Amino acid sequence: MSAVHNPPLRVAQLIATRASDAARGPEIRLRSDDARMRLVSDGELVWIHGPRRQELATARIDDSLPRGEVVLRDVAGASPSEIITIVKAAYGTPRDPGLV
């Protein structure tokens, strides 16, 4: 995927959860137009590529965010104001194989 169709995103906020929290695990929140540009739908797995590591996370749509900014939850090795890119984990596969 070229940089034209996958421009970098800035980490606006990091959320770290505790073991007692109901909602846990790696997640990235981004605007619907940023997701559409990358062919990502709500609930799909994406690779987050940062300067120190890459990690799989679930994508969630949040149109309250400014364009080009994301919120990361439970993504190790990330820091605020860091520049990342995301890539859809699997092209051509259904989001929920149990529904096919």
Cα–Cα nearest to 65, from 2, 10, 24: 10
pTM of the model: 0.84
The CA distances from residue 17 to 8, 11, 30, in Å, are: 25, 17, 19
Task: Report all structural domains of the chain as residue ranges with CATH numbers, in order of start.
Answer: 9-90 (2.40.40.20)
Tokens found for residue 37: 């540009």
- C-alpha span between 63 and 76 (Å, rounded): 24
Per-block mean pLDDT, blocks of 10 residues, the chain (100 long): 77 94 94 94 95 94 97 92 92 56
- In this prediction, residue 90 carries a pLDDT of 81
